[in-house]
A and B are shown apart, each in its own frame.
Chain A
Amino acid sequence: MASVIVAEQLTKWYGSRLAVDRVSLEVRAGEILGLLGPNGSGKTTILRILTGYLRPSSGTVTIAGLDTVDDALAVKRRVGYVPENAPLYDGMRVREFLDLMARLKGVVGADVSTSVDEVNARLDLEQVAGRQIGTLSKGFRQRVAIAQALLGTPDILVLDEPGNGLDPRQIIELRELIRSLSGPFTVVVSSHILGEIELVADRAAILLAGHLLAIHPLRGEEARRRLRVEVRGDADRVRIRLAQVHGVGAIIAARSSRQDAAAYLLEVNGPGLAERVAAALVDGGFGLIELRDEPIDLETLFLGLTGGVPPRSAAA
């Protein structure tokens, strides 16, 4: 899949403070990339640079080949942005605000009303369309903020901590909404809540103190998996046999529930590995007792990378 967002060596200084340090990443068309990291890790700065709101101190970002600094207006037409805490014009009515945003995004004439009706229906905002934004609950405010981001002709959505301040039910609804947007939209979403990213994103970019530590696939064929296998037989010969299977990476000893068998965690990459591992062990004359998927969870990975306290688990 082609990369629609390409950031290269992105660096941002605020005075003498380094907020983002040489971050390079690519986002593929139609995927959801989650930026995960504790507060102050540079997530918001990266998102603001992607939207053209901030200029990088050095490095470049291209959106569908357009530079966010040199082609700022064209980039802004393609990106819908929901800033953190959904800042909105509290004195305006929902419909009035969405009309304004549609016009600012180049929608004209009767299309303004049509496109506002569409986003109102999509985000279930019809019931509050006539209400002042300042009187809305946080959940509805967040929906209004997402609705304005969908207006115009964006194909990329950037959401900064969209789950902030929402109750568990609203978080579940938001998660479903974001997942429903992927495909037609490429989505970049940030959160300091590990579970939120794990449930919503296709890949997670893990940030700490302005550094990109890793990009971890969470879904699809790329998602790294582990197999847990319990085998009866000589440990060294088992290891040699397993290492011969194409697609098997690290082989880590694990605790076995049986005294006459040894357990291993295999880092595997590629399709049909379980069958191949099973066949290799059986053909080698070993006693295969158990073979099952053992997914790598993001928390373990985050802890391994940062060596510190993980971001909060999902509120819902």
Chain B
Amino acid sequence: MKRFAALLGKEHRAVFFSPIAYALIAVFLLLMGYTFTSILFVNKVASLAHIFFQMSALFLLMVPIIAMRLVAEERKTGTLEVLLTAPVREIEVVLAKFVASMTLIAVMLALSVSYPVVLAVYGHPDWGPVYSGYLGLLLFAGALLSIGLVVSSLTSNQIVAAVISLGIFFLLWMIDSVGYLLPDPFDTVSVNLSLLAHLSPFALGSVFLSDVGFFLSVILAGLLLSVRALARR
């Protein structure tokens, strides 16, 4: 556990000592602030459903940037060799990288809590969809991050990692839109693989065990594949 704490400290340092984290946080808050204000002025409804969808779209673009360096950078600079010849397990390395990156995403989401606070001050928001929306976004971002981590574990080129992650994310985002054209049972499969289809209920205030299970399964599979990629030497 102490080794994991040391690894987590190292990863937190790598995330939060990098200007990339602050650039991402700034862009995230700027775009979300603009969207929140615009939607509030137009709709005059104390709801964050639109904001959650906007945030998820932004995560599709931002998570590849967060995830690309996680392993690829260490592989390229050779520090992965130093790290993995210390008495640490691959799973500890992968988990530390995942948790540290999730912390950055959690910070972004925490800073956006000002939006429901504004709604509460000037209106009467339904808190259920707010809570479920944030839970859904956390799970959604976690799933993206674990996929990005796998891709980063397979290459030493950060740009390649980011581009491939982005491609996978968009494919999983829009897969259900073409799924309806496919014959049975491929249409069902493609709809069930859709990130948007599983996120939408959260944003609208419904928490289904199947959606939670989907995101947790993707996270778990991503982490296991990342461990496997690191261990395959």
Contacts and interface: CB of A to CB of B under 8 A. Distances in A.
A22 B192 CA distance: 50
B85 A101 contact: no
Contacts of B17: 91
Interface size class, chain B:
20 to 34
Interface string A115-148: 0000000000000000000000000000001001
Contact of A106 (B7, B84, B87): B87
A105 B7 CA distance: 11
A108 interface: yes
Interface residues of A, number: 31
A264 B22 CA distance: 77
Most buried by B among A74, A76, A87: A87
Nearest to B7: A104
B44 interface: no
Given A52-B85, A88-B79, A148-B82, A104 B3 contact: yes
Interface string A40-55: 0000000010011111
Nearest to A145: B82
Contacts of A104: 3, 6-7, 83, 86-88
B210 interface: no
Contacts of A148: 82
A240 B85 CA distance: 57
Tell me if B's interface is mostly helix, strand, loop or mixed: helix
Most buried by A among B2, B5, B79, B82: B82
B10 A100 contact: yes
Contacts of B184: none
Interface in A74-93: 74, 76-77, 79, 81, 83-85, 87-92
Interface string A268-305: 00000000000000000000000000000000000000
A235 interface: no
Interface string A191-216: 00000000000000000000000000
Nearest to B83: A104
A81 B13 CA distance: 24
A42 to B, nearest CB: 16
A81 B85 contact: yes
B18 to A, nearest CB: 8
A38 B32 CA distance: 58
A103 B81 CA distance: 17
Contacts of B10: 89, 100
B3 A103 contact: yes
Contact of A77 (B5, B14, B82, B87): B87
Given A53-B81, A83-B78, A106-B3, A76 B233 contact: no
- The 9 A-B pairs of least Cβ separation, nearest first, read A87-B78, A103-B6, A76-B87, A104-B86, A81-B85, A51-B85, A83-B81, A77-B87, A87-B79
20 contacts: A51-B85, A54-B233, A73-B87, A81-B81, A81-B85, A83-B81, A87-B79, A87-B81, A91-B14, A100-B6, A100-B9, A101-B82, A103-B5, A103-B6, A104-B6, A105-B86, A106-B3, A106-B87, A145-B82, A148-B82
Interface of B: 2-3, 5-7, 9-10, 13-14, 17, 77-79, 81-89, 233
